[in-house]
Amino acid sequence: MVDKIYNFGAGPAMLPEPVMQQIQKEWLDFEGMGVSIIEISHRAKEFVAVLDEAQSLFRELTGLPDNYRVLFVHGGARMQFSALPLNFAGRVPSRKCLYVESGNFAGLAAKEAKTFCDMEIIASSAEADYNCIPELDSGQIDQDAAYLHITSNNTLYGTRWNQFPETGKVPLIADMTSELLSRQIDYNKFGVVYAGLQKNLGPSGMAMVIVRDDLLGYAEKKTPTLLNYTQCDKDNSLTNTTNTFAVYVIKLVLEWLKGQGGIAAIEQLNEQKSARLYKVIDGSDFYRSIAQPKHRSIMNVSFKLAIEGLDVKFLEEANDVGLYALKGHRNVGGVRASIYNPMPLAGVEKLASFMEEFECKNG
Amino acid sequence: MVDKIYNFGAGPAMLPEPVMQQIQKEWLDFEGMGVSIIEISHRAKEFVAVLDEAQSLFRELTGLPDNYRVLFVHGGARMQFSALPLNFAGRVPSRKCLYVESGNFAGLAAKEAKTFCDMEIIASSAEADYNCIPELDSGQIDQDAAYLHITSNNTLYGTRWNQFPETGKVPLIADMTSELLSRQIDYNKFGVVYAGLQKNLGPSGMAMVIVRDDLLGYAEKKTPTLLNYTQCDKDNSLTNTTNTFAVYVIKLVLEWLKGQGGIAAIEQLNEQKSARLYKVIDGSDFYRSIAQPKHRSIMNVSFKLAIEGLDVKFLEEANDVGLYALKGHRNVGGVRASIYNPMPLAGVEKLASFMEEFECKNG
């Protein structure tokens, strides 16, 4: 028996312990109503208060400018891969939408867009097996395009954009699924930021979409109503019954984050956590980083063991001591430690020590 | 303080008490994993086992024929209003899809379909304020149509189809959101049956789609991947990260239903529960049924008080004694008691007694 499990799963991922405990505590009786939060109408004043509070906490923590809208939508980030061209391609006569292919999900987003617009991949790191963020010259960006799409953090490979591209008048759209709220972001640089919840924000099945208000109003006629951001904004995310459980959890996660000192504080901790792991990796030939150092993520630390086949033993023994779900994605192999906001420093310390000991015994 | 709350909300609605208690109990530690069910990968064997079990329990309880597929999809029933024409209109050259307008959601389904196909409403009870199911002559059904869509239970008005129409070779599609699993159904009569979860099955944000396998394979090229039932079926509902919490809750609800004796037993109880309320309504001039007797629902009992304005007092006093969320839908007014599978007979008895006493005092 292990005293304490640390869950390094890439998503659906661990949530903050105090959040999980609060959910359990008030599960049968939300705010004295005698029923659960998941058993009340999405139009009940008690639920609408939760939704409003989630939106305003998000605004407060991120310092979101007033001209951005905060939407809760169904289906995770993947559903937005379709919604983005349906909502925004019509902004320009060419219907041209630009994509940067920096990994698996970036590629899937581009592929899905192709169905609905004139999609063009203007940069890719496929030839480098996605171990870096592609070079992108601002001159490459067609100023008549509807938008430029990037994936700001690439979960599988553990890479991220440190500096966001200058896109001129072309709105920059970023899938931030695996890093939203993990570092300070200047939202003014973006037209749209979106994220599936299940990594840094809450349970699976829903996404948040942050959209600059001048980009609304261009949805295709043939857009499914629930993929239409303009409609969603008009209805304050309640066009139909929203995923009430997910909205409730987001609100608790945002409250927790505020209690941790906000995004600046959590970013510092995330830097510290990832640095601890990269130090072990860089300090030996036993472990090999997948991402190039200049583009390393502070959310997903992906690496391989130099000795082929030894990762099976590594993962087994890690699991035995309570280090859970470290297996790399099937497209990449090796090991991946997802260390989202909720992962405490103690979990990272335990993993780092385990890595050092494992090297001693097997190196 | 009230000892016990009975929650008559139309949805998100109450769940069975033992299910809610089990969720609370294993919230922080699912099957000894040391983490919550919502904190593990949708591809973890422990979660896939939950999903598989939910599918097979559904098959077992409904006696579903082998040539039907069971899918879990994002976004509730409303998202399927778009998905249905996108998946099935292409079956026929005319792209004609037939709809029966028996209420609010039936109308919304038809309106949404119009964007994606040649939609035709072939029967409507709008002129009767939806107090009945429209008459439908089988001869009216164009045999070259892609499908005929009905809403089997109309939540707002408390009406339901008792006998389903004979549609010849045209597949019958039914939105059963507010009654799936509440009565025995011969699935062979249907091409597709679907339901948002948040009334009889689980939390909000997801739908189940039961589809006859010969209807798959006709999706529009421009169908968002996550609305494509053929793709969903190929991927066993895991094209992307599913709503893991919802699938987990459905599985628990299905286990609970099996423990109650299955659908035949719950149907008998549902008949008994609704009969108790209709008896009070029909036994006085104080209450007025909204639905015509021949088309009454056993899930939603909607009525008005004969004395205008008295419903406000009724709802307040009901709430004070623990009879929660009885307010009728804003389009209809009056009172609506949603008595889905999880509502115990005791809750209905308490409401019926309250209605009798309220009439004595105010009649």
Residues B121-177 pLDDT 10s: 999 999 999 999 999 998 989 999 999 999 999 999 999 999 999 999 999 999 999
**Cβ within 8 Å, pair A24-B24:** yes
A175 and A281 inside one domain? no
Cα–Cα distance measured from residue B204 to residue A36, given in angstroms and rounded to the nearest whole number: 13
Partner residue facing B243 (CB), from A15, A81, A205: A205
Distances (CA, A) of A268 to A272, B12, B179, B208: 6, 40, 51, 43
Cα–Cα distance measured from residue A181 to residue A177, given in angstroms and rounded to the nearest whole number: 10
pTM for the full predicted model: 0.98
Residue B263, amino acid: I
Is residue A3 included in any domain, yes or no? no
Cα–Cα distance measured from residue B197 to residue B178, given in angstroms and rounded to the nearest whole number: 9
Q: What is the residue-wise DSSP string for A233-301?
A: HHTTT-SS---HHHHHHHHHHHHHHHHTTHHHHHHHHHHHHHHHHHHHHHT-SSEEESS-GGGB-SSEE
- Which positions ≥6 away from B293 have C-beta within 8 Å? B278, B282
Is residue A183 included in any domain, yes or no? yes
**Cβ within 8 Å, pair A239-B78:** yes
List the structure tokens of B95.
Answer: 């792209």
Question: In chain A, what's the furthest Cα-to-Cα distance?
Answer: 63
Element (H, E) at A361: helix A345-362
Chosen from B47, B201, B240 to mutate, greatest number of chain A CBs within 10 A = B240
B245 and B97 inside one domain? yes
Chosen from B226, B248, B350 to mutate, greatest number of chain A CBs within 10 A = B226
CB-based burial label for A122 (10 Å; 0-12, 13-18, 19+) = middle
What value, to the nearest 5°, has the Cα angle with vertex B349 and ends B346 and B352?
155
Q: Which domain holds residue B344?
A: 262-362
ipTM of this model? 0.97
CB-based burial label for A61 (10 Å; 0-12, 13-18, 19+) = middle
Single out the residue in B226, B259, B292 at which a domain terminates: B259
Cβ contact B215:B191 at 8 Å? yes
Is residue A11 included in any domain, yes or no? no
- Which positions ≥6 away from B128 have C-beta within 8 Å? none
DSSP A168: T
Cβ contact A106:A100 at 8 Å? yes
Alpha helices, DSSP H, located in B99-242: 104-114, 229-234
Cα–Cα distance measured from residue B342 to residue B273, given in angstroms and rounded to the nearest whole number: 11
**Cβ within 8 Å, pair B35-A222:** no
Residue B83, amino acid: A
A150 DSSP β-pair partners: A174
A244 and A277 inside one domain? no
A159 DSSP β-pair partners: A154, A296
> Hey, what's the torsion of the CAs at B97, B71, B60, B267, to 10 degrees?
-60
B252 and B159 inside one domain? yes
Alpha helices, DSSP H, located in B31-138: 45-62, 76-88, 104-114
From A246, A30, A44, A297, select the one nearest B9 (Cα to Cα). Answer: A44
Contacts of B78 in chain A (CB under 8 A): 225-226, 239-241
List the structure tokens of B163.
Answer: 């006998």
Q: What is the pLDDT of residue B105?
A: 97
Cβ contact A21:B46 at 8 Å? no
Single out the residue in A259, A284, A312 at which a domain terminates: A259
Cβ contact B13:A39 at 8 Å? yes
From B344, B342, B345, select the one nearest B249 (Cα to Cα). Answer: B342
Dihedral sign, Cα of residue A35, residue A41, residue A45, residue A47: positive
Whether the bond between A293 and the residue before it is cis, its omega within 30 degrees of 0, is no
Give chain A's end-to-end CA distance (angstroms, integer).
Answer: 27
Cα–Cα distance measured from residue B290 to residue A343, given in angstroms and rounded to the nearest whole number: 54
Q: How far is A221 from chain B (nearest CA, A)?
A: 7
Contacts of B76 in chain A (CB under 8 A): 74, 240-241
Q: What is the pLDDT of residue B1?
A: 61
Cβ contact B98:B170 at 8 Å? yes
Q: What is the CATH number for A98?
A: 3.40.640.10
Contacts of A241 in chain B (CB under 8 A): 11-12, 76, 78, 196, 198, 204-205
State CA B149 to chain mean position distance.
15
A73 and A205 inside one domain? yes
Single out the residue in B235, B259, B283 at which a domain terminates: B259
B267 and B306 inside one domain? yes
Is residue A12 included in any domain, yes or no? no
A274 and A357 inside one domain? yes
Cα–Cα distance measured from residue B200 to residue B208, given in angstroms and rounded to the nearest whole number: 12
Q: What is the residue-wise DSSP string for A85-117?
A: HHHHGGGSTT-EEEEEE-SHHHHHHHHHHHTTS
Q: How far is B172 from chain A (nearest CA, A)?
A: 22
A274 and A248 inside one domain? no
B131 and B184 inside one domain? yes
Cα–Cα distance measured from residue A337 to residue B65, given in angstroms and rounded to the nearest whole number: 44
Is residue A204 included in any domain, yes or no? yes
Residue A48, amino acid: V
Residue A15: left (phi > 0), alpha (psi -120 to 50), or beta?
beta
Cα–Cα distance measured from residue A358 to residue A185, given in angstroms and rounded to the nearest whole number: 37
Residue B78, amino acid: R
Q: CB pairs below 8 Å between A and B: how many? A: 200
From A184, A195, A253, select the one nearest A14 (Cα to Cα). Answer: A253
Contacts of A199 in chain B (CB under 8 A): none
Q: How far is A283 from chain B (nearest CA, A)?
A: 31
Contacts of A244 in chain B (CB under 8 A): 12, 203-205
Q: Which long-range contacts (CB under 8 A, 24 or more apart) does B41-46 make?
A: B41/A9, B41/A10, B41/A11, B41/A12, B41/A325, B42/A12, B42/A204, B42/B238, B42/B241, B42/B242, B42/B244, B43/B238, B44/A9, B44/A325
Q: How far is A289 from chain B (nearest CA, A)?
A: 23
Chosen from A25, A41, A155 to mutate, greatest number of chain B CBs within 10 A = A41
Contacts of B243 in chain A (CB under 8 A): 203-206, 243
Q: What is the pLDDT of residue B317?
A: 98
pLDDT < 70 stretches in chain A: 1
Is residue B7 included in any domain, yes or no? no
**Cβ within 8 Å, pair B2-A34:** yes
Q: What is the residue-wise DSSP string for B113-132?
A: HHTTSEEEEEEE-GGGTT-S
A252 and A338 inside one domain? no
A183 and A196 inside one domain? yes
Q: What is the pLDDT of residue B2?
A: 75
Contacts of B227 in chain A (CB under 8 A): 82, 224
Tens of pLDDT, residue by residue over B67-95, are 999 999 999 999 999 999 999 999 999 99
Residue listed under structure tokens 């039907």:
B68
List the structure tokens of B240.
Answer: 């992307």
Is residue B111 included in any domain, yes or no? yes
pLDDT < 70 stretches in chain B: 1
**Cβ within 8 Å, pair A7-B39:** yes
B56 and B198 inside one domain? yes
Q: What is the residue-wise DSSP string for A169-203?
A: TSPEEEE-TTTTTSS---GGG-SEEEEESTTTTS-
Chosen from B6, B15, B37, B74 to mutate, greatest number of chain A CBs within 10 A = B74
List the structure tokens of A237.
Answer: 């995310």
Contacts of B40 in chain A (CB under 8 A): 7, 9, 12, 325
Q: What is the CATH number for A270?
A: 3.90.1150.10
From A228, A290, A285, A87, select the one nearest B78 (Cα to Cα). Answer: A228
**Cβ within 8 Å, pair B44-A245:** no
Instruction: Please give the tally of structural domains in chain B.
Output: 2
Is residue B252 included in any domain, yes or no? yes
